[in-house]
Chains A and B, each alone.
Chain A
Amino acid sequence: MINNEAWLLDVFEDLQCPGLVLWFLTSDGQRLRLTQPFPVTFYVAGKSAQLREAWKFLKEQPAQPKLSRQSKKDIFLTETIDVLAVEVNAPGLLPRLFRSMLNRFPNLTYYDADIKLPIRHAARFNSFPACYCALQYDESGFLHTIEVQNTPWDLDPVYPTLRVIELEPDCDPFRAEPRFLLVKVDGKQYRLSLFKKRPLLITLQALLKKYDPDLLLTRWGDTWLLPWLSNLAEDLQLPLWLNREKTRHYIQRPERSYFSYGQIMYNGQQIHLFGRWHIDRQNAMFWRDFGLDGILEMARVTALPVQQAARSSPGTGISTMQILTALRNDILVPWHKQQAEQPKTALDLIQADLGGLVYQPWIGLHRDVGAIDFISMYPAIMVRCNISPETGKPGLLETSPEPQGLIPKTLAPLLEKRVNLKQRLASLPRWHPNRKLDAARSSAHKWLLVTCFGYLGYKNARFGRIEAHEAVTASGREALLRAKETAEDAGFQVLHMYVDGLWVQQPGKNQPEDFTELLSEIASRTGLSIALDGVYRWVAFLPSRADERVPVPNRYFGVFQDRSLKVRGLEARRRDTSPWVTRLQMDLLEYLALAEDAADLPLYLPGAIAILRQHLSDLRLGRVPLEDLLMAYRLTRPPQEYKVKTAGARAASQLAEIGKELRPGQRVRLLYLRGGQVRAWDLPQPPNPQTIDRARYIDLALRAAASVFYPLGLPEQDLRDWLKGGIQLAFDFALNSQTQHILLPPFQEEVAWQTIPSRIRLPQWNG
C-alpha cells in the first residue's frame, strides 16, 4: 500500500472497468492515474403499482442495478417519501438506464438522475477541483482511501504548480487563414508553420510528450485549433496526445445561442480533454473579467470541473452548488421540477410581483457625495432571513427560528468568504501582489452570488420558488428605505438610490470617517452589512438622451477623493462604441478629474474643448487607424430575420455572402462608410480609408462629448455651434442649486492647451 499527498486534477468515468479514473498531481510533482470503484444511484417515486412494474423492468436490464426501497426527503414536501433506489456499479451505464426507464415510465418522478460524476464525487468525498488530498492506493493504481485535506473556503489555498503549454494561431482563423502556430512553453516560444503539416504534428507531439502539460491554454482551441489538429493527425496517421488519458478522444460540445438577463448570448463549440485541462481564452466566459485565478476559484467553490467552470455561466455554478448541498444533506435532487406556482389573487400579485427600487437621481452636478452600498444585498438577505424554497415566509429583514434552509446553507460560506476577501483587499496596499488574485476571486464570487437570486425565481430551477424570490426583493426594498430614513435622520440628503446603493450628501461631509456613524446605524437598523464605496469630490447624474427633463438611473460619472473616476452608462462604457470615441470621452473625463473642487470645473472647460478639437482634427486628417473606428454590434437574431435592416444586420449579411455565418449573440464589427453604407470588418479586404463616413464619426464623438459637458451647463447644440466657429461661449454653470453665468472668449482654449498634461495630449493609439 502506498501513501501519498496530491492535488486532484480530473475525475471521469473509467471505460475499462466499472468505476472512476482520477488524475492527481502529487506533492513531489508526479502525475498520477488512479482508479476507484464508484457505484451511483438514482431514485424513482410514484404510485406503488407503477413502481412494482418499474422494479420488474429494471430486474431485466443488462446493467444489473441493485434495487431497494428507501425513505427520502423531497424539499418541496414536508413528509419523507418512499422511493425506489436504483444503484448501478458502472457509473457510465446510468444515463442509458435512466433514459430507457424514462421512455417506459414517463409519469414517474425521478431524482438524482442527471448529476454529473465529479459532483457526485464531490458530494461523497468533499472533493473539488485542485483539492489537496491524502491518498492510499496499491501498486496497480487502485485507490483505497481518499481524504480531502482542505476546503474551498480557505482564504489562501495552496495551489499546485501547473505545467502549461500555450497554443495560438497567428491570427483569428475566422477572419483570415492562419499561417503559423505560436507555442509557448517553459519560457520558450516556438513558431510552427501550419503548412508544413507533418513537421508541425511531430514537433507538437514531441512537446506534449516532453512537457506533459496539465493545462493547454489556447485561443480558438475550442472553435478551430484542436479539432483541426486532431483531424490532421488522423489524416496523416500520426499520434497527437492532446489527452493525458490516451485511450480517450476529446469531448466536443456544440455551439449555442441563449437568452440571459435580457440579452442574446453566444457560446462557441467546446473541446474538453481527459486528464488535462483545456481552456480556450476566446471562449472562456469570464476570462476577460477574472482570468485563470478566477476560473480556478469558480471551479473550487462550485465543484464544477475546471474545463466546465471556464465555459459555463455562473448560473450553472450556483445550481451545482445547490445540488451539492442537497446531496450532502440527503435531500433528493429533482430531475425536473414538478411544483407549480401557487395561485395568487390579483392584489397579492400587485403587492409581491416587484423588483428592487430604482429611483431617478437629481440631474446635474453635485459636490461631496458619499456612495454607500449594501454588501451582496440579496444573498445577505437570503442568509439572514433564512429564505429558501422549503422555509416559511419571513418578516421583512427578520431572522427565522427555523433550521437553516438549503439556499442559505449553500450561500453562507460563499458570502463569508467574499466579505473576508473584500475586507482584506481593502486593507492591502495598492502595490501588493495579492491584490490582483484576491480581486479576481472576489469577482468570481460576486457573479455566483448575483445569479443565485435570479435562480430562486426561475421556474425551471430545481430549487427555485417564486415566493422566495419575492420575499428577497421585499426585504431589499425595506432595507433601502430604512437606509434612506437613517440617512435623512442624520441630516443627509439622498440624491439617488439604486436597488442596493445610495448616494448621500451633506455639506462639509467629505471624508470617509464622516460616514462611519451613518453606516453603523444603517447596519443596526437593517441587520445587513453596508460599506462606503467612496466619497465623490463631485458626481454628475445625466438625463435620458431622448428627453433631457427625464433622469435615468444608471448614467453618471464622478471623481472620488483619490482622483479615480467612476463612469456608468456613458458611451465609453458601451461595448458597441468605437475605441476612438471611448478614448476621446475618457480623455475629457480624466482631464476634468484634475479639478480639485467642483466649483473650479468651468476653468477646465477651455482645455477640455481643446482636447475635443484635437481628436476631431486627428479624424479629419486621417490619423485615426481604422481599427479604432470599429463599431461592434451584437446580433439578436439571424441576419435575414431582421425586419429593419440595422447596420449590424447589413454587415452580418455581407459576411454571410462570403460564407461566414454569424449566430445570434455574436458581435459583428463594422465601419460606417459614406453614403449610409456599412462594411463588415471581417471581410477579406479592408476598405479604402477615404470612404469612411467621417461626418458620422464626428457626430458620434460630439454626442459622447456632450454627455460629459452637459452637467457643466453646456448643452449639446451650443457645443456644436461653438465648434463650428462661435464667437463667444456662454453658459449657466449650476452647482448645489446655485447658478453662475460664465463667458468664455476663444483664446482661452489655446492657453489651456499648453497646460494639459501630456498623457492626455498625446493620443494613445494602442488599439
Chain B
Amino acid sequence: MGRTVPSVTQVFYQEEQALNRFRRALRRSDQQVLDELLSYTRQHLAAATYATHVLPMELFFLAMLLEEHKIVIALRQRLERLEHKQDD
C-alpha cells in the first residue's frame, strides 16, 4: 500500500534482493549458509522496526550476530557439560 517510508520488512526484502548477485556467485554450500544468516535477521524484524534506525541494514547484521552468539553460548554450555562429565 502507498507508504511514504518503506517499512523495515520492505527494506529487508530490498536488501535481500540486492544481495542476489553476491549470492549467485557463492558456492552452493555457502549460499545455504547465507540464507540461514538472513533467516536470523527475519526473526528480529519487529525489534528493528521499533528501533527506527536510519540505516536498518546495520541492525540486520546485528541480528545475525545475535543469533550466531546464541548458538555459540549454547555450544559453549554443551561443551562445558561434556567436559564436566568426562572429569567425573
Q: Which residues of A contact B (CB under 8 A)?
A: 262, 346-347, 349-351, 353-355, 357-360, 477, 481, 497, 547, 549-551
Cα distance A549–B42 in the bound complex, in angstroms: 10
Q: Is B49 an interface residue (CB 8 A)?
A: yes
Asked if A549 and B36 make an inter-chain contact with CB atoms under 8 angstroms apart, the answer reads: yes
Asked if B39 and A547 make an inter-chain contact with CB atoms under 8 angstroms apart, the answer reads: yes
Indicate which residue in A349, A351, A357, A477 contacts B4 across the interface (CB closer than 8 Å): A349
| A360-B43 in contact given A347-B54, A350-B52, A549-B36 (Cβ < 8 Å) | yes
Q: Is B1 an interface residue (CB 8 A)?
A: yes
Q: Is B28 an interface residue (CB 8 A)?
A: no
**A443 to nearest B CB, angstroms?**
26
Asked if A357 and B46 make an inter-chain contact with CB atoms under 8 angstroms apart, the answer reads: yes
Asked if B36 and A354 make an inter-chain contact with CB atoms under 8 angstroms apart, the answer reads: no
| A353-B1 in contact given A477-B50, A550-B39 (Cβ < 8 Å) | no
**B50 to nearest A CB, angstroms?**
6
Cα distance A342–B52 in the bound complex, in angstroms: 21
Asked if A549 and B39 make an inter-chain contact with CB atoms under 8 angstroms apart, the answer reads: yes
Q: Which residue of A lies closest to B53 (CB)?
A: A350
Asked if B4 and A353 make an inter-chain contact with CB atoms under 8 angstroms apart, the answer reads: yes
| A481-B42 in contact given A262-B1, A349-B5, A350-B5 (Cβ < 8 Å) | no
Query: Could you list 11 further interchain pairs (A-B, Cβ under 8 angstroms) beyond the known A360-B42, A550-B42, A551-B43?
Result: A262-B1, A346-B5, A350-B52, A350-B54, A353-B3, A354-B52, A357-B46, A357-B49, A359-B46, A360-B45, A547-B39
**B77 to nearest A CB, angstroms?**
12
Q: Residues 1-28 of chain B: 1 if any A CB is under 8 Å from the residue's CB, otherwise 0?
A: 1011101000000000000000000000
Cα distance A731–B70 in the bound complex, in angstroms: 25
- Residues in A with CB closer than 8 Å to B39 are 547, 549-550
**B78 to nearest A CB, angstroms?**
12
**B32 to nearest A CB, angstroms?**
11
Cα distance A351–B36 in the bound complex, in angstroms: 29
Q: Which residue of A lies closest to B36 (CB)?
A: A549
- Within 23-61 of B, Cβ neighbours of A (below 8 Å) are at 35-36, 39, 42-47, 49-50, 52, 54
Cα distance A355–B9 in the bound complex, in angstroms: 12
Please list 19 pairs of residues, one from A and one from B, whose beta carbons are closer than 8 Å in the complex, sorted by A's number. A350-B5, A353-B4, A354-B7, A354-B49, A354-B50, A355-B7, A357-B46, A357-B49, A359-B47, A360-B42, A360-B43, A360-B44, A360-B45, A360-B46, A547-B39, A549-B35, A549-B39, A550-B42, A550-B43
- Residues in A with CB closer than 8 Å to B5 are 346, 349-350, 353
Q: Which residue of A lies closest to B43 (CB)?
A: A360
- Residues in A with CB closer than 8 Å to B47 are 359
**B60 to nearest A CB, angstroms?**
14
Cα distance A623–B63 in the bound complex, in angstroms: 52
**A396 to nearest B CB, angstroms?**
13
Cα distance A497–B45 in the bound complex, in angstroms: 12
Q: Which residue of B lies closest to A358 (CB)?
A: B46
Which residue, of A355, A360, A481, A547, has the highest number of chain B Cβ atoms within 10 A? Answer: A360
- Residues in B with CB closer than 8 Å to A349 are 4-5
Q: Which residue of A lies closest to B74 (CB)?
A: A737
**A110 to nearest B CB, angstroms?**
27
- Residues in B with CB closer than 8 Å to A350 are 5, 52, 54
- Residues in A with CB closer than 8 Å to B42 are 360, 550
Cα distance A262–B35 in the bound complex, in angstroms: 29
| A481-B50 in contact given A350-B5, A353-B5 (Cβ < 8 Å) | yes
- Residues in B with CB closer than 8 Å to A354 are 7, 49-50, 52
Q: Which residue of B lies closest to A362 (CB)?
A: B43
Cα distance A358–B46 in the bound complex, in angstroms: 6
- Residues in A with CB closer than 8 Å to B44 are 360
**A459 to nearest B CB, angstroms?**
10
Cα distance A360–B7 in the bound complex, in angstroms: 16
Q: Which residue of B lies closest to A552 (CB)?
A: B42
**B55 to nearest A CB, angstroms?**
10
Asked if A357 and B50 make an inter-chain contact with CB atoms under 8 angstroms apart, the answer reads: yes
Cα distance A350–B4 in the bound complex, in angstroms: 9
**B84 to nearest A CB, angstroms?**
19
Cα distance A45–B49 in the bound complex, in angstroms: 43
**B14 to nearest A CB, angstroms?**
15
Cα distance A355–B5 in the bound complex, in angstroms: 12
**B16 to nearest A CB, angstroms?**
12
- Residues in A with CB closer than 8 Å to B43 are 360, 550-551
- Residues in B with CB closer than 8 Å to A550 are 39, 42-43
Cα distance A354–B50 in the bound complex, in angstroms: 8
Cα distance A306–B45 in the bound complex, in angstroms: 44
Cα distance A551–B36 in the bound complex, in angstroms: 13
Cα distance A360–B41 in the bound complex, in angstroms: 11
**A495 to nearest B CB, angstroms?**
13
- Residues in A with CB closer than 8 Å to B52 are 350-351, 354
**B19 to nearest A CB, angstroms?**
15
**A353 to nearest B CB, angstroms?**
5
Cα distance A346–B53 in the bound complex, in angstroms: 12
**A260 to nearest B CB, angstroms?**
12
- Residues in B with CB closer than 8 Å to A477 are 50
Q: Which residue of B lies closest to A361 (CB)?
A: B43
**A480 to nearest B CB, angstroms?**
9
Q: Which 10 A-B pairs have the closest CB atoms?
A: A549-B39, A359-B46, A349-B5, A351-B52, A353-B5, A360-B43, A357-B46, A550-B42, A350-B52, A550-B39
**A591 to nearest B CB, angstroms?**
31
- Residues in A with CB closer than 8 Å to B3 are 353
- Residues in A with CB closer than 8 Å to B4 are 349, 353
**A352 to nearest B CB, angstroms?**
8
Which residue, of B45, B47, B52, B54, has the highest number of chain A Cβ atoms within 10 A? Answer: B52
Which residue, of A262, A355, A477, A549, has the highest number of chain B Cβ atoms within 10 A? Answer: A549
**B11 to nearest A CB, angstroms?**
10
Cα distance A497–B36 in the bound complex, in angstroms: 23
- Residues in B with CB closer than 8 Å to A262 are 1
- Residues in B with CB closer than 8 Å to A346 are 5
